[in-house]
Amino acid sequence: MLLADGLEDAIIGVCRTAGQEDRVAYDVDKCIAILVERDGMEPYEARECLEANSFCAFVGDRTPVWIETL
């Protein structure tokens, strides 16, 4: 499984799907909170950063999963 550097505290589990590699699942709200606290970003900046650099990045079959809770 691939991990996103510095976002370990936002891991909420493992995504298992038939016929695919297991993938790490991250809580988007926790990721945003980490970037706000650690990097001093505003929440909208943190979301934009994640969207540009993480959510849309495909790094193979073990690409992390980004979960938004309802």
Q: What is the pTM of this model?
A: 0.91
pLDDT at 22 over 90: yes
pLDDT tens digits, residue range 34-54?
999 999 999 999 999 999 999
Rounded to whole angstroms, the Cα distance separating 57 from 39 reads 21
**Domain extent listing, the chain:** 8-67
**N-terminal to C-terminal alpha carbon distance within the chain:** 25
